[in-house]
Structure 1
Amino acid sequence: MLVVAGAMAETSLVAFRGWPSEALEFYEGLTADNSKTYWTAHLTVYETQVREPMTELLAALEPEFGPGKIFRPYRDVRFSKDKSPYKTHLGAWLEAGGYIQLSADGLAAGSGMYQMASDQLDRYRRAVADDRAGRELTTVIEAIEQARIHVQGHGSLKTVPRGYPKDHPRLDLLRHKGLVTWQEWAPAAWLGTAAARNRIVDFLRTSRPLRRWLDENVGPSTVQR
């Protein structure tokens, strides 16, 4: 009994409780002063008020959405004119498909395939052009958008890709090089509670049909990078 009680107590200690206001204040400050001096002075805040809650959230989501990974807070400035060293948001990725982001602007989440490799893009376009698979995708998107979640393309071409008719009924979908669901929530009191997890879960569950369609019709890339 003592062992069980101890395990339950330990679990409760790491339960996700949301992000405190200090997390958003941290990113407000970092946006204003993106320097090593600011980062070093506020590192404890980042680790305890920003990163730790994200770690707890990923642990809570893992049984349904697989393990997650938190992205590094440092920017790759090698090929960028902007030499700011730190990202002004915290991002995390879920193995079963999903992206979570916290910034001074609040919470955001995405799901899908943001940037398809060449072989994935070929399979995607073929599926969109196919009557059965293409109509299924249209139905999936309509259902997701009725739930007030935005479905958007990435890297979209200005015209229909080569080899497809210019009057294709799913022209807009054919132009995309990536397809994702996306939702943003402005800062509010619920962000500092476990209700933040519920919003992410609802988003991921609603987005799941699109992810399933992409997995079945596009799949992983086999192109060597």
Structure 2
Amino acid sequence: MQIEKSTFQFLKDLQKNNNRDWFTENKPTYVKAQQNSKDVFAAIHHNLQMHDEIEKSKMMRIYRDVRFSKDKTPYKSRFANSYSRLGKSLRGGYFICLEPQNSFLAGGFWEPNKEDLFRIRKEIEMDASEIRGILKDPTYQKHFGNTFESFGELKTAPRGFDKDHPDVDLLRKKGFIATKKFTDQEVLSEDFVAKVDESFIALRPFFNLFSDILTTNLNGERI
């Protein structure tokens, strides 16, 4: 199972013709491209279930909510899917986005609630060595570099934390996300689904550590 060239061509054409008239005229092409992407997302889901427990898989709608957006184009020029891990003990989630010249996968903790974020920050404050160990791991670095992405960071340490803490760069983060980009050529290759799974497997030490943090207190006792 792989992404077809025609699927990416549809997305490229949509980028240039993002209006309802064009979309309506090309609806049959959209349906084929959507199904191709859905099949690939299903194959990725199948692979994930071989080594993780997934509670929910959700394909994002192509229709944009423009009510509160400055960008009034009606459609997203991408296909994307999220995978949620099972239950309270297996935290974190996976994400994949297929878009010409902007394809990527991600995994981690996008917008943790305030309780979870506070617990992670307290762990960092007490001892960030295990978290730093993830960032230094060769397998993690091969796929994701040596950092966590975050959709938004504080300018200084959060309230109640030392602004001169040696790990303030981690304390400032509002989320903890690993990301990996793909070229169009990589997305269209026959082994793309396998490459995605290889990267998702590389996330497990990260997920395992953060799941452990979020299900224990600072003494390491289960909560």
TM-score normalised per structure 2: 0.82
Paired residue for 2:190? 194
Determine which of 112, 115, 118 is the counterpart of 1:119: 115
Larger radius of gyration: 1
Is 1:37 the counterpart of 2:21? The answer is yes
2-structure distance, mates of 1:154, 1:106: 17
2-structure distance, mates of 1:24, 1:57: 13
Give structure 2 stretches of 5+ with no counterpart.
86-92, 216-223
1-structure distance, mates of 2:23, 2:37: 18
Paired residue for 1:147? 142
Change (3 A) 1:146 1:191: closer
CA RMSD of aligned residues (A): 1.8
Q: CA deviation at 1:34?
A: 0.9
Aligned length: 199
Determine which of 203, 206, 213 is the counterpart of 2:209: 213
Q: CA deviation at 1:57?
A: 2.5
Identity value in percent: 26
Is the CA contact 1:101–1:109 (under 8 Å) kept in the aligned structure 2?
yes
1-structure distance, mates of 2:4, 2:213: 41
1-structure distance, mates of 2:94, 2:3: 19
2-structure distance, mates of 1:204, 1:27: 25
**Per-residue CA distance 1:165-210 (angstroms, 9 max, x = gap):** 122121101000011000111111x533431101110110112222
Paired residue for 2:80? 91
Determine which of 177, 181, 188 is the counterpart of 2:178: 181
Amino acid at match of 2:66: V
Give structure 1 stretches of 5+ with no counterpart.
1-15, 220-225
2-structure distance, mates of 1:100, 1:148: 14
Q: CA deviation at 1:215?
A: 2.1
Determine which of 163, 168, 176 is the counterpart of 2:160: 163
Determine which of 39, 51, 55 is the counterpart of 2:38: 55
TM-score normalised per structure 1: 0.81
Is 1:107 the counterpart of 2:91? The answer is no
**Per-residue CA distance 1:26-69 (angstroms, 9 max, x = gap):** 111111111111212222222223x2233222332332343521
2-structure distance, mates of 1:214, 1:42: 44
Q: Secondary structure at the match of 1:98?
A: strand
2-structure distance, mates of 1:205, 1:174: 26
Q: Secondary structure at the match of 2:149?
A: strand
